[in-house]
Amino acid sequence: MIGRLFGRVNPREAMIRDLHVRINAAARAPALYTALGVPDTVEGRFECLSLHVILVLRRLNRLPDPAGEVAQDLVNAVFLQLDSSLRESGIGDFGVPKRMKKLGAAFYGRAAGYDAALDAADPDALARSLARNVLGVDHAADAAGLARYVMASDRALASLDLDALVVAGPRFAAVQPPAGTAEQSGVSR
């Protein structure tokens, strides 16, 4: 804390901050909202951020140490940001812990569901989970494009070692609009 007052930044903190910033940027890519139907709402942005963090954590959890420590630092940074956002939105000090508990349960529940579907290489199960959690719809068909994006991103991240992940940043797939949309046919909206 005192070091920050005098301009000294812990290199590990800087690394985690940079990783977090890159994940935030990926989760805010406009095509996720316009082409794949992620709702551009507070909840939709939370779901999209959670999805991207979960994908990076999934990769970190498959790498040798010190990747586990990096994963824990990333989770801490994400939840500190969420806590701060809740406080800035006007939620009182007594309400923040209750909301953080709900957000944590939602995050870890989604992580387990996405992991299971990705481990099983089951695009239909992944699409159902994404439809329910991210898109807020009951039909997995509506989430097929998002499921393809998630599976492709998982494959892209699987090719990265720890150094590449934290130095160059996480690699996510390009967004492919669903078949038959105006964006796929070359017609812009």
Model confidence pLDDT, tens digit, residues 106-134 = 999 999 999 999 999 999 999 999 999 99
- Grade residue 5 by pLDDT with cuts at 50, 70 and 90: low
Helix boundaries (H) for 61-91: 67-88
pLDDT confidence band for 135 (50 / 70 / 90): very high
Instruction: Report the alpha-carbon distance of residue 92 to residue 86 in Å, rounded.
Output: 9
Over the stretch 142-185, which tens digit does the pLDDT of each residue have?
A: 899 999 999 999 999 999 999 999 999 999 999 987 765 544 43
Q: Is the pLDDT of residue 82 over 60?
A: yes
Domain coordinates in residue numbering, the chain: 9-168
